[in-house]
Structure 1
Amino acid sequence: MKRRVTAGLLTAAMMTMMLTGCAGSSGDKKESGKESYTIGIEQFAEHGSLDNCREGVLKGLESEGIVEGENLTIDYKNAAADMGTAGQISDSFVSDGVDMICAIATPAAQSAYNVAMDAEIPVIYTAVTDPVEAELADADGNAVGEVTGTSDKLPIKAQLEMIRNLLPNAKKIGIMYTTSEANSVSAIKEYKKLAGDYEFEIVEKGITATADIPLATDELLGEVDCITNLTDNTVVSSLATILEKAGEKKIPVFGSEIEQVKLGCLAAEGIDYISLGEQTGKMAAKVLKGEKKASEMKYEIITEPGFYVNTKVAENLGVEVPEELAKNAVESFHEISAE
């Protein structure tokens, strides 16, 4: 049974489409298994991990014989971390009658599905931390409609264990998050649940917009021994600001994936977002080819996190990376890259 998620509303463009019978209506629905496809890619914000997802999606599609410029047309739009813009993008894709919407990040996925569901355009998402919390899947992982994809659920237990190993005397971990992002709210709950097992206290700061980040960062840095990032799109988009302020106070910042470590986070137990995107692209290919409906596919996750460390940051902070951690790193970076 179809169910709208609570993060967005259908707009007037949807009603216009239904009344006028424009592209994307059931009468004009294109057959699966055709020779060429058009996909609308809706990315909620521009930062490294989401960009890597998009790259991975195209690789995954290509591995299944669906190649941009040959039998695939891509319409890419970025919402710049604005929900109103995300809604407009979703409307435009439905109005244009794309064969599929690929939504990158939770707010984009919620927006796309709310608008596309009545047009029966499948939505394949990636970088959605908790599809159940986002109301895109039920408690068993089943799709709530023609919507499925991949989760970038954080390996929070592994992250806490890693932070304890690197900072044996730390007591308080700061986390900044956007109160309207379901993925972040879900992650905060899990951090609080597990923190005590590692003798940590979680200090959280909720924000509503990018403009809140400088003050929230200053407040957080005055209360904690380190900061750990979520996959929060608004916060990650302003990571440079957070890193600069934390660096001045010699307070470590931990990332949630590889790109954040490149930019100056000390370390992360995270996932490879290109691999996550590839996994998503392969799922999308099955739907485009008519091999499966999105509603028949449970969402998928990458089960094994990897340890990433920036030895230059460790040196700057005077943090010693234990030999056992260092030798098991998937990748070590010895410089801080520019954003």
Structure 2
Amino acid sequence: EDSTIEQAKDGFLDALTANGFSEKDQTLEVIYRNAQGDIPTLTQIVRYMISQEVELMATNPSLSTITAVQNTSEIPIFMMVAPTPELMEVQGKDGSDPPNLFGVAENLNYIDTSFSLIPKLLPVEGRSLKVGLLYNQSEPQSVSAFNRLQGLADKLEVQLVARPVNTTADVKLVTEALLNEDIDAFFANPDNTVFSSFETILKSCNEVQVPIFTSEAGLVKRGAVSAYGADLYQWGYQVGEQAAGFLKNKSTEGLEWEMVKLRRRVFNPEVAQRYGIEIPATYDPID
């Protein structure tokens, strides 16, 4: 279970409870499954839920949403911790979104703020700052984030050293290869493999005194220096409120997927102190 992504699930269920839908009160039955990032297992889970004739599917994160969209066009899908349909590449040939896709999505604009902060906090003289990054080639939003960051790094005159990683089993080896490139910092981009393997990445980076920056607030609590991005609990809560509206009205009429409403600038005081990094006053200590 990925503790960062789990925050969204907790927010989703709390919103349903606040709206009168909970297993405790027997007003809701939840079928919860976790594929641990395995695509064949994920496909089996989605097909099982279809066979159970569920009223809705809540999908978290993006791979779950993509798989659900590929397998049903009838059951309402409420996505969370996912990029826009365009970034997930689930739109029709005419550019239309799946008609049964709802919930809350995010674009990649916010990662610019998080990445642009790194050269301000880690100035170097006489050379370019080197920032390492891992990305999963099978995740559309991860590839899109990498491409976006490559362009941004060029503008900032930052050398981006990126390595592809396809499974959590590869993360330790690839991270250590990246660290052998003498990077000054590591950037944890929106990637589910990075999320689930973060402690492995953190351990390797800490051993050679390489700070981690990110665009995901949940990773700051787990040991990254700072982030500007969505609060995953509130992301899930926003989705849960939309799903509760559907359950009350028994209709998707008037429903559309939404953009994330709440983003936060946060930092980890302990980690910032360890690396001697002075964080701007616009950032709040992670709670």
- Same fold? TM cut 0.5: yes
Paired letter, 2:80: T
- Sort the Cα spacing of 1:278 and 1:303 in 2 relative to 1 into closer, same or farther, 3 A: closer
- The answer for the alignment partner of 1:110 in structure 2 is 66
* Corresponding residue for residue 222 of structure 1: 180
Determine which of 96, 100, 115 is the counterpart of 2:56: 100
Looking at structure 2, the residues matched to 130 and 230 of structure 1 have their Cα atoms a distance apart, in angstroms, of 16
| 1:4-56 CA-partner distances (Å, limit 9, x unpaired) | xxxxxxxxxxxxxxxxxxxxxxxxxxxxxxxxxxxxxxxxxx21221011011
- Following the alignment from structure 2 to structure 1, what is the Cα–Cα distance between the partners of residues 96 and 159? 34
1:311 corresponds to which of 256, 269, 284: 269
After superposition, residues 66-77 of structure 1 pair within 5 angstroms as 66-70=21-25, 71-77=27-33
Give the corresponding residue for 1:156: 111
2:136 is aligned to: 178
Say which SS state the counterpart of residue 83 (structure 2) adopts. Answer: coil
Letter in 1 for 2:242: M
SS class of match (1:77) = coil
The correspondence for 1:126, drawn from 49, 60, 80, is 80
- Count of residues in correspondence between the two structures: 281
Per-residue deviation at 1:242? 0.8
AA of the residue aligned to 1:112: A
In 2: Cα distance, 1:171 partner to 1:138 partner: 41
One-letter identity of the residue aligned with 2:208: K
1:69-115 CA distances to partner (integer Å, 9 max, x unpaired)?
Answer: 32111111101111111011101101111111111011101111222
Contact 1:143–1:299 (8 Å) recurs in 2: no
Quickly say closer, same or farther: Cα 1:59–1:131, change in 2 above 3 A: same
Q: Deviation digits for residues 162-198 of structure 1, max 9, x if unmatched?
A: 2122112261221101110112112112212222332
CA separation of 1:203 and 1:265: change in aligned 2, threshold 3 A: same
* Correspondence for 1:26: none
| Corresponding residue of 1:285 | 244
Q: Note the 1:12-23 alignment, pairs <5 A.
A: none
1:265 pairs with 208, 224, 227, which one?
A: 224
| Secondary structure of 1:75's aligned partner | coil
Give the corresponding residue for 1:321: 278
Match for 1:104: what amino acid?
N
Q: Distance in 2 between matches of 1:291 and 1:74?
A: 17
Q: Deviations over 1:120-159 (max 9, x none)?
A: 2111111112321213457999632211221244511211
How far has the Cα of 1:291 moved from its partner?
6.3
TM score, norm. by length of structure 1: 0.76
1:208 matches 2:166: yes
Q: Are residues 139 and 304 of structure 1, via their aligned partners in 2, closer, same or farther at CA, if it must alter by over 3 Å?
A: farther
Change in Cα spacing, 1:303 to 1:193, as seen in structure 2 (3 Å) is farther
Are residues 1:241 and 2:200 paired?
yes
TM-superposition CA deviations, 1:208-229 (whole Å, max 9, x none): 1112111210111122211111
User: In 2, Cα distance between the equivalents of 1:285 and 1:265?
Assistant: 34
Of 151-160 and 87-96, deviating more is: 151-160
1:78 equivalent among 31, 34, 45: 34
Q: Tell me if the contact between 1:143 and 1:298 (Cα under 8 Å) persists in the aligned partners.
A: no
Q: Cα distance 1:210–1:50, how it changes in 2: closer, same or farther (>3 A)?
A: same
Task: Tell me which amino acid in the other structure corresponds to 2:173.
Answer: L
- What amino acid is the match of 1:310? N
Contact 1:195 1:201 in 2 (8 A): yes
Identity rate of aligned residues, in percent? Answer: 30
Secondary structure in structure 2 of the residue aligned to 1:73: coil
Verify the 8 A CA contact 1:141 1:298 in the aligned structure 2: no
Separation in 1 of the partners of 2:97 and 2:249?
17
- Match for residue 65 of structure 1? 20
Report the more deviating stretch, 184-193 or 150-159.
Answer: 150-159
SS in 2 for 1:328: coil
CA 1:252–1:77 in structure 2 vs 1: closer, same or farther (change >3 Å)?
same
Q: Give distance in 2, aligned partners of 1:222 and 1:231.
A: 23
Larger radius of gyration: 1
1:85 counterpart letter in structure 2: T
Question: How far apart, in 1, do the equivalents of 2:75 and 2:221 lie?
Answer: 37
Superposition CA RMSD, Å: 2.3
Which residue type is aligned with residue 306 of structure 1? Answer: R
Q: Which runs of 5+ in 1 are unaligned?
A: 1-45, 334-339
